[in-house]
Amino acid sequence: MASSGDFPKRPETSSFQFASTFQGEDALRTGEWVLSQDPKYEGQEARVRVERCDLEGGVFHGDYGLLLDESHKHYGVGATLPKPVDNTGKDLVLQYEVQVRGGANCGGAYVKMLRGGSGEDMSTLNNDSPYSIMFGPDKCFRDTDKVHFILQHQNPNTNEWEEKHFGNAPKIKDDGGFHVYTLHIKKDDSSFDLYIDTEMISSGSLLADMKPPLVPPQEIDDPEDEQPEDWVTEAKIPDPSAVKPDDWDEDAPKKIVDEDADMPEGWLEEEEDIIPDPSSTRPDDWDDEEDGDWEPTMIINKACDEAPGCGKWEKPLIANPAYKGKWSAPKIDNPDYKGEWQPRKIPNPAYFDIESTEPSHVDPITGIAVEIWTVDGGVWLDNFVIGHDVGDALSLAEQTWRPKFKAFEAVKAAEKKQKERERADKRRERGSNEAIASWNAKMVATSRLLADKARPYVPAAAAPALDAAAENPIALVGTTLAGMLVMILLSVFKTRSSSSSRSSNRSRAKASAPSSEAGGDDEGSGDEGEGEGDDNQNKEEEEEEQEEEEQEEQEGEREENGENAAVNKQDDFGAAADEAEGEVEEPAPISST
């Protein structure tokens, strides 16, 4: 983006016949530009000023222009040229920059190239001040949207001035940005080009594309010629020899009853389309004197919806084949018809030979004026030039207009990205809210279903708590999961306690076994009583081990059953959720606002 230091304080304009860039001293204070004193523009002293370019970030604050500040006002301000500009034998180029801050809705931003004495005293400027060319943007909602190019042309024979409008005027730029408008009239072939933002967008010919034409027709209707009183203009007349036929019945109706029609099957003649509402009852406080006679509400009879019709059936009407209408005599050619009357042609005193003139020549320009009405405030104008070389004008635009245009486009692009980010954030927020609302609705439906299934097993005193839990699915799910967790922890604790007890018993058994074996070795075979005692002890140990193994199997089964129960409860909860999701309709999206 260019900075204010990149903008030329005083752009080079020596190649132009007139230039006003508003750089340097205030052009209103120096008298270069003068405010009209016409009552139409009363109070504009407070509304017109030379002001710096308004662009975000302070860019180009060193560039000054003419600001028409307030909306819904008339403006009249202009500058007298140091020397009249005459384009005899030369091209003519007009160019200036304009910004309608906030965008153009209704108002002009065009300029007038004044001629003669009207350009010499700007204090008398008004809407009727004569001009040679009017050029520039004008818009008012859908009614007007064009870049004007209007000539005030003087007829060389009659010396009368007449406005000639370009009939194919292009549309304006109304985005609130900086734009430059250029008009180039060519001397060689009397053609012209219109540029917006240094690009040619339209072209035409002074001889073929102005309305009315620059050169009037060679002949015109004689204004004194009148149509003779006996001139017959009717090409056809009624046949005087025609007679109405005897069988022509003028009174025969256009439609008659179709006697062959039969009532459609299923027609309900005893029913009416509109019937009293059987559920409607007279209000207890109804007062006939104050409220009038009470009548029940009328409703559409549903019995008639599927029937072809209700009420009294009547035969339909059909076109009457005997209908002929009012008789009139047929038309024949009028033997006295002379054709369409036209006045005779006479030479047009305003016609002139184009070869004897220079169509591209305009009356010398003595001043430039902004004389407009605008609903829009903040019309900023700058860098007015009048010259003969379009290349010089477009080159100046690249120096003065192009940097501002690029800077404005960059600001606009940044604002667009910011708005896109804000919209994306809102979409994400809205989507998140909708997802949460949908999840919450499903959870409520699931918790209600679980509560209904659990209700037969819950004491009556606990029913309110169950209902509250059904409406608070997060609490219900949390309580359920907490209970499952407690059961799992208790099961694990019991398992570990049983394992520890079994390990202790085995240790005691192993500790007693070696002592018995050692006693046998030391004492030899021993007596018979001692041998029997050892056998009994071994049997008791085997029975204890077998009992411990059975206890381990039972506890293992209980653990497995406990885990399965927990899993089954989870499965029941998931199944209930699936069932609820199938039974409950999708909730309507909830707005983020």
- Compute the average pLDDT of residues 296-321: 91
Contacts of 490 (CB under 8 A, 6+ apart): none
Query: Are both 362 and 478 inside the same structural domain?
Result: no
Tens-place pLDDT, residues 106-145: 988 999 999 988 888 999 999 999 999 999 999 888 888 8
Query: Are both 165 and 99 inside the same structural domain?
Result: yes
Query: Are both 461 and 373 inside the same structural domain?
Result: no
Query: Are both 46 and 107 inside the same structural domain?
Result: yes
Query: Are both 26 and 81 inside the same structural domain?
Result: yes
The verdict on residue 78 lying in a domain is yes
What is the pLDDT, as a whole number, of residue 519?
Answer: 44
Query: Are both 408 and 478 inside the same structural domain?
Result: no
Contact 154, 161 (CB under 8 A): yes
HEC secondary structure over 40-71? HHCCHHHCEEEEECCCHHHCCCCCEEEEECCC
Query: Are both 395 and 466 inside the same structural domain?
Result: no
- Compute the average pLDDT of residues 346-363: 88
The verdict on residue 404 lying in a domain is yes
H or E, element range at 520:
helix 473-523
Q: CA-to-CA distance for 531 and 523, rounded, in angstroms?
A: 11
HEC secondary structure over 406-443? HHHHHHHHHHHHHHHHHHHHHHHHHHHHHHHHHHHHHH
Q: What percent of the chain has pLDDT over 70?
A: 77
Tokens 């409220």 -> residue: 291
- Compute the average pLDDT of residues 391-413: 91
Query: What band does 473 get if pLDDT is binned at 50, 70 and 90?
Result: low
pTM, entire model: 0.58
The range of the structural domain enclosing residue 204 comes to: 5-219+358-414
Q: CA-to-CA distance for 159 and 152, rounded, in angstroms?
A: 12
Query: What band does 2 get if pLDDT is binned at 50, 70 and 90?
Result: very low
565 has a pLDDT exceeding 80: no
Of 440, 462, 484, the domain-final residue: 484
**90-104, 318-332, 447-461, 508-522, range with the lowest pLDDT:** 508-522
The verdict on residue 308 lying in a domain is no
Query: Are both 108 and 211 inside the same structural domain?
Result: yes
Tens-place pLDDT, residues 186-224: 998 999 999 999 999 999 999 999 999 999 999 999 999
Of 443, 468, 484, the domain-final residue: 484
**Stronger pLDDT, 512 or 97, i.e. the higher one:** 97
**91-95, 148-152, 295-299, 317-321, range with the lowest pLDDT:** 295-299
Largest Cα separation within the chain, whole Å, is 174
Q: Please give the structure tokens belonging to residue 513.
A: 């076994």
Of 449, 484, 519, the domain-final residue: 484
Query: Are both 473 and 365 inside the same structural domain?
Result: no
- Smallest CA-to-CA distance from 22 within 34, 32, 36 is with 32
The verdict on residue 331 lying in a domain is no
DSSP 443-454: HHHHHHHHHHHH
**Stronger pLDDT, 162 or 487, i.e. the higher one:** 162
The verdict on residue 472 lying in a domain is yes
Tens-place pLDDT, residues 134-179: 999 998 888 888 999 999 999 999 999 999 999 889 998 888 889 9
- Across 454-541, the runs of DSSP E, i.e. the strands, are none
What is the pLDDT, as a whole number, of residue 204?
Answer: 95
Tens-place pLDDT, residues 216-232: 999 999 999 999 999 99
CATH number at residue 162: 2.60.120.200
The verdict on residue 193 lying in a domain is yes
Domain count, the chain: 2
Q: What percent of the chain has pLDDT over 90?
A: 47
The verdict on residue 18 lying in a domain is yes
Query: Are both 398 and 440 inside the same structural domain?
Result: no
Contact 283, 258 (CB under 8 A): no
Contact 352, 215 (CB under 8 A): yes
Query: Are both 33 and 141 inside the same structural domain?
Result: yes
